[in-house]
Amino acid sequence: MNGHLFALSCALITLVFMVELLRRRRLREKYVVLWIAVAVVVLVSAVFPHLLEQLSALVGITVPVNLLFFAGLLLLLVVCVQLSAEVSTLEHESQTLAEETALLRNRVERLERASGAAPGPPLVADPDVSRRSTT
């Protein structure tokens, strides 16, 4: 099988797969855009193979495959930074939610004590919570 046909078929399969993930809402738009862009770049370079040679000569890289590896490395760097930013945001949101939950639990317990009612079951279905609240 010709390498260009293989790259072309892989790019088309990737495009179809990403659109399907997007359609089924398994992946959000902001993540799909990057992968569709990669598939389009691979598709264009498979259809026009001399474009990579001309581009590598333009930037001063002697072997076109080295340009491809460099672009792939930059892409992986961008993906890592994007995912790190997402994890940081989710970690901050999780910490905020845990703090708000603890404050609400404290308020509910104070209100139950003030009214003289028996305390209700723990708000979280965590077996460790019931052990901690009795000690």
Model pLDDT for residues 10-69, shown as the tens digit of each residue: 888 988 998 899 899 998 888 888 888 888 888 888 888 899 899 999 999 999 889 988
Kindly state whether residues 27 and 41 are assigned to the same domain. Answer: yes
Please indicate, yes or no, if residue 70 is contained in any of the structural domains. Answer: yes
Q: pLDDT tens-digit profile of 101-132?
A: 999 999 999 999 998 866 666 655 555 555 55
Please indicate, yes or no, if residue 134 is contained in any of the structural domains. Answer: no
What confidence category does residue 135 fall into, taking pLDDT thresholds of 50, 70 and 90?
Answer: very low
Kindly state whether residues 35 and 77 are assigned to the same domain. Answer: no
Verdict on whether the full-model pTM lies above 0.85: no
Domain that holds residue 10: 1-47
Other CB atoms within 10 Å distance of the CB of residue 102:
10
Please indicate, yes or no, if residue 108 is contained in any of the structural domains. Answer: no
Please indicate, yes or no, if residue 132 is contained in any of the structural domains. Answer: no
Contacts of residue 108, defined as CB under 8 A and 6 or more positions apart, other chains included, come to: 120, 123
Kindly state whether residues 1 and 26 are assigned to the same domain. Answer: yes
The pLDDT value recorded for residue 49 is 82
Spatial distance between the Cα atoms of 49 and 46, rounded to a whole number of angstroms: 5
